[in-house]
Amino acid sequence: MATATAESSLSTVQGDGHKRKKNALSDGQGRLAWMLLAPTLLVILVVAGIPVAMSIRESFFLSNTGVDPSTGLIASGEKFVGLQNFAAIFSDQDLVRGNWGSIGRFFNAFWNTTAITVVCVIAETIIGVAMALIMAKAFRGKGLVRAGILVPWAIPTIVSALMWKLIFDANGVMNKILGTQILWLADNVPAFWAVFIADVWKTAPFIGLLTLAGLQTIPAEVYEAAKVDGATTWQQFVRITLPMVRPTLVVAVLFRTLDTLRMFDLPYGMVGPGKYHVETLSIFSYLEATQSRYGPAAAYAIILFLYVLLIAFLFVRILGADLISDPDLKKTKKKKKTDGDASDAASPTALEMAGGAH
């Protein structure tokens, strides 16, 4: 339906619109919509589209180094090197010792990024869902809890990094509580877990908030019916809560996953740059770029970008993360599929969650 209206509004002159006007709100909208969207799309093109394209180009180039034999001056400019920046990832020239034994620095950063994302997102999801369940049950004091839960979110990540740096200091309070003498922030395995704890602290409440919004869309009648049928609390959780909160949770987990994949501030602030046990792809690429090794930096950033795209794609395809959730679009999609997908329409989604939270 939406397609048809758009087509007619594009093909007809706006003047004769009142003759066959079915819906005052959907006439001549195509042109107006694009006019309203033009500034935003232009800005996105300039500040994101073009730089990303430039970054892709950059990844095939390498800055000239050394002395230019023809002029005797220090070489400047750059040369096209094809896939050399990508191929260099597999060379054994830049071996480092991190969590994964002696491997190339890129792969070290890649596996660090992957590992921290997996462990953080799993822990955040479990803690976040637990928080949401507790908050959903609460009778009084919801405002207080909500205020508290926003504290970790509002603290700038770099400030929270320095805060945890103090807590994890060798002479700090964490060692005192645990009664240990661990050097948390040296370039070692405990540093990885220190970063893990700091990230989970900051972002689990966020998953809790999103999940709570999803929980509040579940009608109480469903639970009452389950109780009448004699379902235990655990059965209610597994059979009702989880399936019904799943669309919300999948979107929340997707956001967290993509965010953790580009982690920079926490390891940089807590442990420092060039520490191989916590070096993520973002940090590695940043360090390369600031040392004027633009080509390799771009290559690593592009790989990270593709990695992020792949994960997002898998979430949408396999887990059915509904990010867009526009009812108009759903209608057209359904028309194309010829028969409707009932579960698709029933699920609360990212955009609709905003309404549910009020």
Which residues, 177 to 236, sit near another protein by CB under 8 A? 201, 205-206, 208-210, 213, 224
Residue of 12, 17, 78, 123 interacting with another protein (CB under 8 A): 78
Binding region for another protein (CB under 8 A) out of 27-35, 96-104, 188-196, 335-343: 27-35
Minimum distance from residue 100 beta carbon to another protein (Å): 21
Rule CB under 8 A: choose which of 89, 115, 119, 145 binds another protein.
145
Under the binding rule (CB under 8 A), the answer on residue 345 touching another protein is: no
CA distance to 48, 215, 251, 254, 349, per residue, from 310 (Å): 19, 29, 15, 12, 21
Residue placing its CB nearer to another protein in the complex, 103 or 213: 213
Interface with another protein, residue 259, by CB under 8 A: yes
75 secondary structure, DSSP code? P
Residue 247 in contact with residue 349, Cβ under 8 Å?
yes
Q: Is 67 in the site for another protein (CB under 8 A)?
A: no
Task: Give the H/E segment covering residue 78.
Answer: strand 78-80
How many residues touch another protein under the rule CB under 8 A: the total is 120
Read off the tokens for 95: 């071996």
Which residue in the set 99, 112, 125, 157 belongs to the binding site for another protein (CB under 8 A)? 157
Per CB under 8 A, the segment of 103-111, 133-141, 235-243, 334-342 that binds another protein is 133-141
Q: Which is nearer to another protein, 97 or 309 (CB)?
A: 309
Task: Tell which one of 94, 169, 187, 344 touches another protein (CB under 8 A).
Answer: 169
Distance CA 5, CA 11 (A): 10
Element (H, E) at 42: helix 29-44
CB-based burial label for 254 (10 Å; 0-12, 13-18, 19+): buried
Closest CA to 123 of 14, 260, 279: 260
Among 14, 51, 118, 232, binds another protein (CB under 8 A): 51
Query: Site mask, another protein, residues 267-286, x = CB under 8 A?
Result: -xx-----------xx--xx
Q: CA geometry: angle at 305 spanning 302 and 310, to 5°? A: 125
Q: CA-based Rg of the chain, rounded to a whole angstrom?
A: 26
Looking at residue 291, its amino acid is Q
Scanning 72-80, 92-100, 101-109, 117-125 for contacts with another protein by CB under 8 A, the matching segment is 72-80
Q: Which is nearer to another protein, 29 or 114 (CB)?
A: 29
DSSP 175-227: HHHHT----TTSSSHHHHHHHHHHHHHHHHHHHHHHHHHHHTTS-HHHHHHHH
Closer Cβ to another protein, 290 or 343, answer by number? 290
Binding segment for another protein among 90-98, 101-109, 118-126, 169-177 (CB under 8 A)? 169-177
Closest distance to another protein from the beta carbon of 102 (Å): 25
User: Which x/- pattern, by CB under 8 A, does the window 80-99 give for another protein?
Assistant: --------------------
What minimum distance in Å lies between the beta carbon of 99 and another protein? 21
Burial of 132 (0-12, 13-18, 19+ CB in 10 A): buried
Closer to another protein by Cβ: residue 103 or 149: 149
Q: Least distance to another protein from the beta carbon of 34, Å?
A: 7
The tokens for 325 are 């959730």
122 binds another protein, rule: CB under 8 A: no
C-alpha closest to that of 30 among 13, 49, 44 = 13
Distances (CA, A) of 52 to 55, 258, 264: 5, 17, 19
